[in-house]
A and B are shown apart, each in its own frame.
Chain A
Amino acid sequence: MIRRQRLAAGLGALLAALAAGLAFPAAAVADETTALAPKVDLVIDVSGSMRAKDMDGQSRMSAAKQAFNEVLDATPEEVQLGIRTLGATYPGDDRKTGCKDTAQLYPVGPLNRAEAKAAVATLTPTGWTPIGPALLKAADDLEGGEGSKRIVLISDGEDTCAPLDPCEVAREIAAKGIGLTIDTLGLVPNAKMRLQLSCIAEATGGTYTSVEHTDELTDRVNQLVDRAADPVVTPVAVEGASECAKAPALKSGLYTDREEFGQERWYRVDVKPGQELRAAVSVAADRAVSPDYGVLLRAVTVHGREIVRGEAAGTGRTDVISTGLRYPKAESDDEDAPAETVCLQVTHSFAGAAGVKATPGLPLELTVDVVDGPSDAGDVASFGLGRGWWLLGALIVAGFLGGLVWGWLSRWRVAVWRTN
């Protein structure tokens, strides 16, 4: 009997070891550093307008070159940095050719500072401003790996290659789910360009900066490259269903999805008795939306009864609206009690501004944590303990009265005993 148990235990251990080996292959550990390396693609506008001499007395191009040199010196070791140009080669007037003019100046990979600097030095302001195509190509440059990805776009004019709207391009890139952020910097901006560049940044959760001095440019690009180097949790893409029955089952973790205007998203989570489900959801406004909005997260049983909800509403400019909920499932006396399937429903009440595309949906981020349940309160106060002068007064009076009664009682008993 004992031997059989040992054998079973041994087999179990072997299986566990095998499973662990499958889950974390040795190769994955070795490649982890390269696979997780953050990637940054600097996209620089080399269009003719970069000749303008309005940045601290020098031309925009030489300001950008100077900034790039300093950024290349300060780039952290682990960051894989590449440089892409737009409008660098074709000086002619043919729109079609001009709008395809984007080239990889330095490939995304381990950085050789000297080579990269030499490549930057060759740049001369030349052609058109094809921002949309450049962004598409830059997204391709960054493909592969699981680290954070960032495009830093430096431009001094709006896109000259309509009808491909760079803002739509950015949204599509973000919707591919490769966790890419685009930060934009406008050199000596005008109103139209500011609008376009901030729209690109907004579409991917990036930032927009106006730059009028060389040192501002250097500082900002350095800051953005450093931000890319910060390790960050990459969410797992899921696709929520339109009803609970078809919803994907989630475990603890961070998930991302897309939700269109007026859509419902359903997910399911299994919660065992004595466990607590914590869910938080954020819906990002990645396009122009009406200034009043809300989000609702409901935990519903499979039979459609609402257990608990989290709701939030807001007004004004925002990047996300978020809410969360907690659902502690009570302990069960039965040890084999089955886990309860909790359906999570996410809806948002963003409304697109006039002329805004509805697809792809707004980015949604869902955090699920299933932890041990809380020890519930049996009383309002901690352990039912008391506090304050009234408590002391009441206890003193009660004690005093108790003492008096006890004293009288014992006197009376002595008296009775004496008489007997």
Chain B
Amino acid sequence: MRITRVLSMALIALGLAAGPAAADSSPSASPSGDSGAPTEAGTSFRTATEIEQGQTATASGSTGDYLYWSFPADTGQRPTVKATVKLPKAPSAGQKWQIDVYDGLRRRQACQYGAQTRTAAAGASSVELSCTLRTVRSWSEPWADDPLPGTYYLRLTVLNLAQDDLGLPVGAEVRVDSKDIGGKAAVDGSLAKPLVPGIAVTDPGEDDDKPGKAVLSAIDPDDGWSSGWWTDRWVWTGLGGVLAALAGIGGYALTRGSGRPSRVPPGA
């Protein structure tokens, strides 16, 4: 009897230890090598350059260009977009840069924090911008504009500038990383298809990477879109069930005293 009790206590302790460990696992987007990272940017939603999360993409352009990239974001991720604008020629005072993030429906997505807009100091050689989005959810009501899994667009632009600065060369470096928020943000419901523009006209069996075939967005995460089935809530709930059962056994055992009463003769 004692052995079982010790065992059950150990199990509870183990469960308590394992619970948070499973819950807080945060394998953020693995920083893959930058080989093959795009060195160009698009100039509109349609021509946006597709990048992967964890990739540092670079581009060169002219001050006044609108530079577009697109990246995939999946359920449970909280993407952070970082952009560095390199100004080879010192700008006039008051040059203001901005990054905007749009979802697959071209709806502007709010930044929770980060310097989305920043004014370059006179004579500055670079401007750093950043935007942390809200956590991507698997489902939301159609009247909300919560981030949903799918394509995200990133637009880098100079918001206002002195006329003399227009057309001067400029370099840009962007990177998207995301934190895995996990079960905390696991909501019920799911989309039939991710919010990827043009997905209704893209044949799913077709190889999107086939050259010459233009699609609006060929975004696809490396390991596919999550099915939305797994969340660490299964672990928590399952563990809760086991603990409840153990506690139930414990409670039952308390009412029975410690084993067989000694005064009862054997074989009775």
Q: What is the count of residue pairs linking A and B with beta-carbon distances less than 8 angstroms?
A: 260
Q: Known contacts A194-B166, A324-B106: does B192 contact A384 (CB below 8 Å)?
A: no
Interface positions of A from 301 to 343, Cβ below 8 Å from B: 308, 310, 312, 314, 316-320, 322-328
A207 CB to nearest chain B CB (Å): 5
Q: Known contacts A216-B169, A387-B233: does B198 contact A319 (CB below 8 Å)?
A: no
Interface positions of B from 160 to 213, Cβ below 8 Å from A: 160-161, 163-164, 166-169, 183-184, 186-193, 195, 197-201, 211-213
Residue in B closest to A206 when the chains form the complex, CB atoms: B43
A54 CB to nearest chain B CB (Å): 17
Partner of B236, one of A191, A230, A367, A388: A388
Is B237 in contact with A386, judged by CB distance below 8 angstroms?
A: yes
A379 on the B face (CB < 8 A): yes
B225 on the A face (CB < 8 A): no
Q: Known contacts A392-B239, A396-B247: does B167 contact A209 (CB below 8 Å)?
A: yes
Contact with B along A386-403 (1 / 0, CB 8 A): 111001100111111111
Partner of A280, one of B23, B105, B190, B243: B105
Q: Known contacts A316-B98, A384-B188, A395-B241: does B157 contact A191 (CB below 8 Å)?
A: no
Which residues from chain B contact A279 at a C-beta distance below 8 Å?
A: 105
Contact with B along A357-388 (1 / 0, CB 8 A): 00000000101111111111111111111111
Question: How many residues in A have their beta carbons less than 8 Å from beta carbons of B?
Answer: 93
Partner of A328, one of B46, B142, B232, B247: B142
Which residues from chain A contact B40 at a C-beta distance below 8 Å?
A: 223, 226-227
Is B255 in contact with A374, judged by CB distance below 8 angstroms?
A: no
Is A404 in contact with B255, judged by CB distance below 8 angstroms?
A: yes
Is A282 in contact with B45, judged by CB distance below 8 angstroms?
A: yes
Which residues from chain A contact B168 at a C-beta distance below 8 Å?
A: 210
B132 on the A face (CB < 8 A): no
Which residues from chain A contact B163 at a C-beta distance below 8 Å?
A: 191, 194-195
Residue in A closest to B256 when the chains form the complex, CB atoms: A407
A138 on the B face (CB < 8 A): no
Is A308 in contact with B236, judged by CB distance below 8 angstroms?
A: no
B254 on the A face (CB < 8 A): yes
B235 CB to nearest chain A CB (Å): 9
In the complex, what distance in Å separates the CA atom of A372 from the CA atom of B201? Answer: 13
Is B65 in contact with A317, judged by CB distance below 8 angstroms?
A: no
Interface positions of B from 221 to 255, Cβ below 8 Å from A: 228, 231-234, 236-237, 239-241, 243-255
Is B193 in contact with A395, judged by CB distance below 8 angstroms?
A: no
Which residues from chain B contact A157 at a C-beta distance below 8 Å?
A: none
A238 on the B face (CB < 8 A): no
Is B233 in contact with A386, judged by CB distance below 8 angstroms?
A: yes
Which residues from chain B contact A226 at a C-beta distance below 8 Å?
A: 40
Is A325 in contact with B244, judged by CB distance below 8 angstroms?
A: no
Partner of B139, one of A36, A376, A387: A376
A276 on the B face (CB < 8 A): yes
B19 on the A face (CB < 8 A): yes
Interface stretch of the complex, out of B56-64, B119-127, B259-267: B56-64
A408 on the B face (CB < 8 A): yes
Partner of A310, one of B107, B169, B188: B107
> Given A376-B139, A392-B236, 4 more contacts at CB 8 Å?
A36-B212, A210-B166, A396-B244, A400-B248
Chain B residues near A (Cβ < 8 Å): 16, 19, 23, 40, 43-47, 60-62, 64-66, 96, 98, 102-108, 138-139, 142-143, 145, 157-161, 163-164, 166-169, 183-184, 186-193, 195, 197-201, 211-216, 228, 231-234, 236-237, 239-241, 243-256
